[in-house]
Amino acid sequence: MFKIITSQFLILQSKQVTATGIGLFRLLYGIITLQEIFFLLYFNHLIFDPTPYIDVEFPMIPFFLCLWGIIASFIIIGYRYQFAVITNYIFWIIFVNFTTMQRDFDGGFDSFMIGVGFFLLFMPGDRAFSIDSLRLKLSTPFAHYSTHPKTTVSSLSYYLPILVCLGFLYFDSAVHKLFAEHWRNGLGSWLPSTQPYYVSSLDMSFLLNNELLQKTIGYTILVFQFTFIFFFSNHRLRSIYLLVGLGMHLGIALSLNIYPFGLGMLICYVLLVPFKWWRVMGNLVTAKQHSLTVFYDKQCPLCSRTILILNHFDIFNCIDFKNAQNHAPNYSALSAIRPEALLLDLYALDSSNRIYSGVNTYIQILKKMRYLYPLGIILSLPGIHTLAINKYRSIADSRARISCDSECLISPTMENNTLYHKIFETFAASKPKAFSRKLTKIFIAIVILQLNSTLHYGLIYRLDFNAKHSAVSTPIAEASNALIMVSLTFLGITPHALYLHDHFAGYDRILAITYTDQNGIEKWLPFVNEQGRLLAPNWGRVQSMWANIAVTPNIDDIRLKKFIMKVTAFWGHKTGLNLDNTVFNIKLKRISAPSYWVHDQLHKNFTAPWTTIGTVKWTGRSISYDFPKNINTL
């Protein structure tokens, strides 16, 4: 087995493919991270304050979140890539393990983002759609703009993250699903979608009320997750797994209010896109012929750098940049312009032989690039156009020209300090077999860590609850837990027992909070509405706090009071309520979470009546509760 894995790694490492998917994957990962940072900033006081707005324990949290946001922006644009992904990885670990995010506000995808972030450390995310690739080009400004840095990568950088981040996750999740009755009945996707706490604002009843469709979806997910790890790399089945996976996670993002998890999983499918699809899509979106020809002075450092920058952002290949010294005489439309004048400005010629110069050339460039058309319009506005001309002339008339010899045309020499280059291109290229053996050992170690988590929680824990009390199994269980702690913290390997039978069994009551204003009118706090749905933006990790920790099949009085305190303090402040003069009402609704299919179960849960079971009152910095201690008996 060791030799088979080693030889397969050796084959994948030697195969070079386009870097487009890796670049897009990096960009989307950065966007998902940035939106989660914005979410944390908005709910900063709810998540991190012991008592929102009243007892602020971590006043520097917003500052560090902003720093993290800057790093996420670097990842999006591909600037200082290696530094950015390392710093982002550290931020994820620190915030998840040293704040209340993991204990009380587990977003359901934090461990996944840590695992993906770990692989990004070793992936060539700077090879496409990045500022770093532009910086590499600018290191030799006199090289022709078509002299690009390397844009191919090892296919191993695609397959290995998919295998671990998706394949291991799916298989672990499928093992857990076997112990859930509703999953065995084919209703794994149906049941969460009928529970008010879990659904988004989209009404999916027209799909939920089709029993055959729901069971088909449920069993398809089971088969998909069990077989993914074995067949996703098969070139005949890859597109099928891609489409099924996209549909599954897009459905999660749209139908459930855990959209960060759905979107986080979706971005990994960029790596599963067949390589030839990128070529086909590239041919579809790029221009068949140039719509603008720009002439520049190749011996001018400023002009050469400018052309390199413009060409880098011409992603649709709409513009052709030519050396004015060699190519301008071949165009009759430019014959009336003195050769010296062609070197003083940027001149452009469109498909209708219209000539543009200076700022007007830049305007046409922006317009012809398609996606920058609005900037071209803005630059042509009166006032802005005049200011641009004055600034352009001050730069163009003062630029220095130097002669360019053969040394100007050397390849880019800026040092590549990424871990991917050092490990997968430098070391692997010099010692391919040794590299494959070392990588196989690392991979086997990750497999062991994943098996430890799957066997511990997926089988042993579920099959023998008394095993942990025996003299033999106790040390083994402790060692297993220690390994799980390490693998969870640094690799994001965790049990994926999401929305199973032990989660919904007995989930027959939900709670909401209203308040009585000074006029005696009862209003709903902007948290849980009359239907029982958690309102946006209380989704993601806030939904997890309320639906998975505060309100569970067996409600814990201490935890419930803690989160009622947090919610009333946070949303009371957000809605401008005077806490001392406001009475909050705790409401209870009976719902049903059957493991068998029931027609229109979602609307039945929506329309169930509410009962007021108690009140909550703030007095200064303290809160008092007046409702039954054991809500489970109601």
pLDDT along the chain (634 residues), means of 10: 92 94 97 97 96 91 97 97 98 93 84 96 95 86 61 94 96 90 94 96 94 97 96 95 96 93 95 95 91 87 86 92 81 77 83 90 94 95 93 76 48 73 92 94 94 80 54 69 88 83 86 90 95 96 94 93 97 94 95 95 97 95 92 83
Check residue 468 and give its pLDDT: 47
The rounded Cα 539 to chain-centroid distance in angstroms is 16
Count other C-beta atoms under 10 Å from residue 232's C-beta: 21
Backbone φ, ψ for residue 212 (5° rounding): -60, -45
Phi, psi of 574 (to 5 degrees): -60, -35
What pLDDT score does 23 carry? 96
Q: What is the DSSP string of 508-555?
A: -EEEEEEEE-TTS-EEE-SSB-TTSPBPTTS-THHHHIIIIIIS-SS-
d(CA 593, CA 118): 37
- DSSP symbol at 51: B
- For residue 149, give the nearest of 133, 138, 132 by alpha carbon: 133
Q: What is the pLDDT of residues 289-344, one digit of tens each?
A: 999 999 988 878 788 888 889 999 999 999 999 888 777 777 877 777 877 777 77
Distance between CA 316 and CA 302 in Å, rounded?
24
> What secondary structure letter does DSSP report for 617?
E
Q: Where are the domains of the chain?
A: 287-409, 506-633
CA atoms within 13 A on the CB side of 97: 16
The answer to whether the CB of 282 falls within 8 A of the CB of 24 is no
Residue 342 makes CB contacts below 8 A (sequence gap 6+) with 295, 297, 324, 328, 334
Residue 106: which H helix or E strand, with range? none
Q: In the structure encoding, which two tokens stand for residue 491, read together?
A: 């690799």
| DSSP 8-class letter at 348 | E
Query: Can you tell me the distance from the alpha carbon of 229 to that of 447, in angstroms, rounded to the nearest whole number?
Result: 12
Q: Which of 227, 255, 256 is nearest to 241 (CA)?
A: 227
Identify whether the C-beta of residue 348 lies closer than 8 Å to the C-beta of residue 355: yes
SS percent in the chain: helix, strand, coil, step 5: 55, 10, 35
Q: Which amino acid is at 120?
A: L
- Whether the CB-CB separation of 512 and 606 falls below 8 Å is answered with no
CA neighbours within 13 Å on the CB side: how many for 27?
14
Report the SS3 class of residue 18.
Answer: strand
How far is CA 100 from its chain centroid? 21
CB atoms within 10 A of CB 478: 11
- Cα separation, 123 vs 118, in Å, equals 9
How far from each other are the two terminal CA atoms of the chain, in whole angstroms? 57
**Contact indicator for 321, 307 with CB cutoff of 8 Å:** yes
Q: Which two tokens stand for residue 556?
A: 């814990």
376 and 385 Cβ atoms separated by less than 8 Å:
no
Q: Which residues 6+ apart lie within 8 Å of 624 measured at CB?
A: 616, 617
Closest CA to 162 of 325, 291, 284, 274: 274
As a whole number of angstroms, the distance between CA 329 and CA 278 comes to 38
Structure tokens that stand for 551 in this block:
């309100």
**Amino acid 79: pLDDT:** 96
pLDDT, tens only, 99-147: 888 889 987 789 999 999 999 999 999 999 999 999 888 876 655 555 5
Burial degree of 490 (CB within 10 A; 0-12, 13-18, 19+): middle
Judge contact between 258 and 543, C-beta under 8 A.
yes
Alpha-carbon distance of 62 to 67, in angstroms, equals: 9
Architecture field, domain 287-409: 3-Layer(aba) Sandwich (3.40)
